[in-house]
Amino acid sequence: METVVRDALVARLSQYETVTEIGVGRRPSVAVALADAGCDVTVTDVHSFDLPSELHFVADDVVVASDRDDPGPAYHADAIYALNLPPELHRPARDVAAAVDAEFLFTTLGFDSPTVPCETETIADGAETLYVVPAGRKE
């Protein structure tokens, strides 16, 4: 991830004490930078990866989590975020955040539009659009 975009994401997300990244994959640079900034960071993915020890990893599927009454302790955070989130995961991720009363922030693959109602923030001098769903908002 480009350093300017990563730094802008970290600046925006570091205002939260606890954060969860959905779908961390093999690119944990934002999560690591958030941990370095003092955030308590949990990361989830459907696959297990070797990740730095400062990240709390939980193997989970956000689609399955969205169907549970309580999505699970991994999602109990001030904010839930996802990077390059594909459209089919916008709604399940939003529902998980709403279930735990967390703000939901995400970026898309760049050409996708958000499939859930949200606010937009331009970060990194226009290099990235961050979509924001306020805490508790399900529709």
Structure confidence by residue, pLDDT tens digits, 128-138: 999 999 997 77
> Does residue 139 surpass a pLDDT of 80?
no
pLDDT tens column, 21-34? 999 999 999 999 99
Domains, the chain, with CATH or none: 3-133 (3.40.50.150)
> What would the mean pLDDT of 109-121 be, rounded to a whole number?
94
Q: What mean pLDDT is predicted for residues 114-131?
A: 96
What is the spatial distance between Cα 100 and Cα 117, in angstroms, rounded to a whole number?
Answer: 18
Please write the tens of the pLDDT for every residue from 43-61: 999 999 899 999 999 999 9
When the pLDDT of each residue in the chain is averaged and rounded to a whole number, the result is 95
Residue 116 tokens read as 């859930």
Q: What is the pLDDT of residue 18?
A: 98
